[in-house]
């Protein structure tokens, strides 16, 4: 088990670096400018920064969810912005420049607001949330994200061709490492997961589908914008949450709840994705849909 925990720690330490580098290498000024000027951009920020956190707090306070699971759900909601949303939005034929702008902006905003967010969560969930000292937060999360992020931007300016080639393997590593870490966390925390109440799983599903609904409604009327905002709202940033989890929770095995939430969130989103594809096909069949913005490269 010690070897498994060491492996999980290694995955968490490296994929937060990969996240920053991936975001920096994806920094396309043209696409970002187009995305931030889009009318749905401000609505997307509102959904991810205000709507989803409020939804998660309401759900865990209304439903009889155990304190630890409540803290995990809330912590994940307060860590927005995830680059893998680009891949899902691309397959769903959504607005990629808008998604790119939201992903990068939300990641940076989450970093800036993280100390305040943790203080708020500590007041709401004193049993579960124990914020680390700012020096730990700076060393484990903020700098490991910001330094590679800045390097990625600089590398793209100096060698754009090589930056484009590097972006795909970095994103691939991040996605694979995140998935492997989530599975390993579930295995490591399995004794605790067996004690989880069914209401914990219900709350995770409700927050996932509720976040998708908030984004979908905020993105109307354009189909591509609805898709971009819905997926961006759901895919919060477990990279930040995992890095915080090892220091904000009293037992590292509690990270298994985060891994379980990540898996449940992925499965719970499938019905929305299937329904959204049928909606888009129906709208295309009924006539030309409104434009959703120029496609951006996600390679």
What is the token pair recorded at 215?
């984004």
Positive/negative CA dihedral, 193, 249, 261, 25: negative
- Cα separation of 208 and 201, whole Å? 11
Could you give the 3-state DSSP secondary structure of residue 98?
A: helix
What would the pLDDT profile of 210-250 be if each residue is shown by its tens digit?
Answer: 999 999 999 988 889 999 999 999 987 776 777 766 555 55
Could you give the 3-state DSSP secondary structure of residue 283?
A: helix
The long-range contacts involving 160-163, CB below 8 angstroms and separated by at least 24 positions, are: 163/25
What is the reported pTM? 0.78
- Cα separation of 191 and 199, whole Å? 18
Q: How many CB atoms lie within 10 A of CB 50?
A: 11
Query: Are the C-beta atoms of residues 26 and 83 closer than 8 Å to each other?
Result: yes
Question: What is 132-189 written as a DSSP string?
Answer: PPHHHHIIIIIHHHHHHHHHHHHHHHH-HHHHHHHHHHHHHHHHHHHHHHHHHHHHHT
Burial label for 270, CB within 10 Å (0-12, 13-18, 19+), is exposed
- Cα separation of 223 and 260, whole Å? 31
pLDDT at 299: 40
Quick one: the chain helix, strand, coil %, rounded to 5?
A: 80, 0, 20
pLDDT at 156: 85
What is the token pair recorded at 103?
């992903």
What is the token pair recorded at 227?
């898709």
pLDDT at 127: 66
pLDDT at 164: 85
CA neighbor of 299 nearest in space, from 87, 107, 150: 87
What would the pLDDT profile of 32-45 be if each residue is shown by its tens digit?
Answer: 777 888 889 999 99
Task: Give me the chain's average pLDDT, please.
Answer: 81
Q: Which of the residues in the chain have pLDDT under 70?
A: 1-2, 4-5, 29, 31, 81-84, 127-128, 131, 188-189, 191-193, 195, 239, 244-254, 284-299
Chain mean position to CA 180:
16
Looking up tokens 């995830």, which residue turns up?
82
């Amino acid at each position: 088990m010690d070897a498994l925990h060491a492996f999980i720690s290694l995955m968490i330490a490296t994929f937060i670096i990969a996240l920053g580098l991936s975001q920096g290498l994806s920094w396309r000024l043209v696409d970002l400018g187009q995305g931030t000027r889009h009318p749905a951009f401000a609505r997307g920020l509102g959904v991810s920064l205000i709507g989803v956190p409020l939804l998660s707090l309401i759900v865990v306070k209304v439903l009889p969810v155990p304190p630890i699971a409540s803290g995990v759900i809330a912590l994940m909601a307060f860590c927005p912005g995830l680059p893998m949303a680009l891949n899902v939005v691309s397959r769903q034929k959504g607005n990629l420049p808008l998604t790119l702008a939201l992903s990068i902006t939300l990641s940076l905003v989450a970093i800036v607001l993280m100390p305040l967010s943790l203080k708020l969560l500590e007041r709401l969930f004193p049993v579960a949330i124990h914020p680390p000292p700012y020096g730990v937060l700076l060393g484990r999360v903020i700098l490991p994200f910001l330094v590679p992020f800045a390097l990625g931007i600089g590398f793209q300016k100096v060698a754009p061709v090589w930056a484009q080639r590097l972006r795909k393997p970095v994103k691939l590593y991040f996605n694979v490492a995140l998935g492997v870490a989530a599975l390993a966390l579930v295995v490591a925390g399995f004794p605790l997961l067996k004690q989880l109440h069914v209401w914990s799983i219900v709350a995770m599903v409700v927050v996932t589908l509720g976040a998708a609904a908030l984004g979908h409604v905020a993105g109307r009327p354009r189909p591509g914008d609805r898709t971009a905002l819905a997926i961006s709202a759901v895919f919060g940033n477990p990279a930040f949450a995992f890095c915080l989890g090892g220091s904000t929770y009293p037992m590292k095995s509690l990270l298994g709840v985060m891994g379980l939430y990540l898996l449940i969130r992925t499965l719970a989103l499938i019905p929305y994705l299937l329904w959204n594809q049928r909606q888009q096909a129906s709208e295309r069949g009924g006539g030309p849909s409104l434009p959703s913005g120029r496609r951006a490269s996600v390679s």
